[in-house]
Structures are given as structure tokens and as C-alpha cells.
Structure 1
Amino acid sequence: MRKAKLLIVEDDPNLLVGLRDILTLDNYQVLTAENGKQGLEILQREVEIPPDLIVSDIMMPQMDGLEFLQRVRLEDKWVRIPFIFLTAKGEKTDIQQGKALGVDDYLVKPFDADDLLLAVDAKLRRHQKISQVQEGQIHELKRNILTIL
């Protein structure tokens, strides 16, 4: 079984390296980008096996995390990728805005590494379970169609 592939989008180079190290030590394959624009470029390049989950800051140059999330959610091939904001924007209105755009989880900096790892693991397990259920439903539908024919 392959390790889960994560895309981390963060403009602070020290934090980006720290996040990469934390997640790599927890046996994740990690791709990194410094802003939403680079994040989209990586998603477009990783066509065969896209990331299993995205962790993104909000306040970044060139393309912020809010626009990045919106662009990800517009593409059918990426719409199901779990998306977590990890940001200093911790006001209630900020969190509500992220949730209104469809973010799967919202963590506020400063953060505890264990909280990040728990959120990532929980989102990946849920995503995997949903995929298994959908695959089972498709298999059942195919079987029913073949029975009719």
C-alpha cells in the first residue's frame, strides 16, 4: 500500500520545512508549494496520482489560500481531495469564511503538531472510507446491470 501523498502550501519557508519534516516523519509523502499558484501547478503536474490531502495557509502572495481552495473545488479531478487550512487567521469570521468555501478542517497557528497529525489522519481515513463505499456501490450497480442484460 502506498503512503498517502500530501500537498503543503505555505509561504513561510521555515514553517514549510517544519511541516514537511513533521509529516515525513509520520510516513507521508510530502509535496510543497510556497503559494496557491505553485500549488495549482503541482496539482496539474501530478495528474496520474494527485495528492490525497492538501494543507494550506491562507495569507500568501500571488494566490492566497481562499482562492486556491476555490480553484481546487472547481475541478472535478480535485474536488474530493480533503483540504485543511493551517493559518494565523483565527477570528470567527475567518473560520466561517473557510467553512463556507468548503474547507474540511481549519487549524489556527500557533498549532500543536499532534493536532495537525490527528486532523490529517482523520481526514484521510474518512476519505478512504468514502472511496471504498463508492467503489462498492459502483461494483454492485455493474453487477445489477449485468444481471439485467
Structure 2
Amino acid sequence: MNTMRSNAGRVPTAGAAPHILVVEDEQALGTLLAYNLEAEGFSVERVERGDEAEIRLSEMPPDLVILDWMLPGVSGLEICRRLRARETTRTLPVIMLTARGEEGEKVRGLSVGADDYVVKPFSVPELMARVRSLLRRSRPERLANKLTAGDLDLDRETHRVRRGNRDINLGPTEFRLLDYLMERPGRVFSRAQLLDGVWGLSAEIDERTVDVHVGRLRKALSRGRERDPIRTVRGAGYAFDETFGKV
């Protein structure tokens, strides 16, 4: 598989930057898009074939897809149609890129579920603005500076975590782990998925490392009889308890 990942792997920064999948078979354009998206603070992954994109999208959906219409393997139009047919990706933001500027083609692209449609050649600043606009509408928490659940507050700008009236001291990895889980309350992540999302695709560490860091996070978050916000799902992985802080 000819999958290209920017910077030799998705190494996340604290604050869990929104992750964008660029599906574009023109290498120069793909490189340009990745460069500008990363300059905007996004985490970027690139693939050049439609069938490769299908694999990545089934493994772990990103926060947004920039999808070329004409692709080897599977067309962008068909990928978009399949995304909208699956429950897990039905609302995934999709920006479709194409050289087809005719109104009928635009209508066709939007009719299969694309959220936006950009004709080549296009203005890169305009595309970046469209990306941010879509993310603000679909996943406002991905661009928020603070996450809150019950008496637990996480501030991405100051890298501080508070529970009630006390500060919680977390290492960089535990901070990213809490950020990643809090952002998606109720969703169960396997150890492999957490390694991907928190440590990065290029990380060469054992899955048991996840258990160690979850244990450290739990110890820091909860004292005495305080409720543990992290839920263990036997045989599946971990989740931030979506009922945490609710009556």
C-alpha cells in the first residue's frame, strides 16, 4: 500500500489537533495541501488511491476528508456515497475536489453527500477557510480551547486540568490521553486506536503501555470516593464515561 503520512507518522500535539485525511492522486497537489493544513495546525494523513482511503476510513474516521473526484481504485464520488451509507461516517465532513466545474457536476457531487465542492485550480486560503468553517459546524469541540464534563475541566491553551477546586498535575501523555477521550465521550477505543490517536502511527511501543498510562490518569483524576470518569470495557478498550457529571 502506498500510504503517505506527513512527518513520517501522525505524532499528535497536546490539544489533539483535528485530523484531516487528504485523498489526492496528484502528488504535488497532495503535498501542497498537507503543507498548508499543517501550517494551520491540523494533523494530516495522505493517501493517493480510493481503495487505500476506504481502508483508512474504516479503521478510524478522521475529523474531515478532502476528497478528489477522480481517483484510481475507487472514485471519490463512490467513496462519498459509501461514507453516507454507513452509520459511523454518515456525518463525516467531506470537501470534494474536482476539475469538473459544470453546474450539473457540482449538483451530482453534492447529491451524493459532499458538504462542499471546490473546483481546481482553487485558492488555498479559501480552501483553508472552508475547512475551518466545516469543522466549526460539525465538530466545534475540535476547535474549542476548553473541554468540560461534570466537575472536570481541561484547558488546551494553558494545559491545565482541574477537578472541582483542585488542580490535577498530568504529564504530557496523560494530558493528551484525557483530551482524546473527553472529546469523544462514550466512544470505546481499543488500545491500538489509542496508540494511533494519542501516541501517533509511528510510535513503536507495546499496547500494554496504554494500560499503564490509563492507570496513571485514573490515579491523578480520582481521590477517595470520587467517581472514576474513565470506563473500562472488557475485551474492547477504554472510554470516557458519557454519564460522568450527569444525574
Whether these two folds match at TM > 0.5 is yes
TM-score range, shorter chain: 0.7 to 0.9
Query: What 5-or-longer segments of structure 1 have no aligned partner?
Result: none
Equivalent residue in structure 2 for 1:88, among 75, 99, 102: 99
Show the counterpart of 1:15. 29
**CA distance in 1: counterparts of 2:31 and 2:141, whole angstroms:** 31
Q: In 2, Cα distance between the equivalents of 1:35 and 1:70? A: 16
Residue 100 (str. 1) matches residue 111 (str. 2): yes
Aligned equivalents of 1:130, 1:78: Cα separation in 2:
17
Distance in 2 (alpha carbons) for counterparts of 1:6 and 1:130: 15
Cα-Cα RMSD: 2.3
More strand by share: 2
Residue of 65, 68, 72 corresponding to 2:79: 68
Distance 1:34 1:130, change over 3 A: same
Q: Deviations over 1:44-74 (max 9, x none)?
A: 222xxx2000001101111111001011111
The one-letter amino acid paired with 2:92 is I
Rg: which structure is higher? 2
Aligned residue pairs total: 135
Runs of 4+ deviating beyond 6 Å = none
Identity value in percent: 33
C-alpha displacement of 1:130 = 9.3
Where 2:97 maps in the other structure, the secondary structure is strand
1:35 maps to 2:49: yes
Amino acid at match of 1:13: Q
* Stretches of structure 2 lacking an aligned partner (at least 5 in a row): 1-14, 143-184, 186-241
Shift in Å, 1:82: 0.4
Q: Report Cα offsets for 1:71-110 as digits up to 9, x if no partner.
A: 1111111111100001111111110001111110001100
Q: TM-score, normalised by structure 1?
A: 0.82
Deviation of 1:129 after TM superposition, in Å, equals 4.1
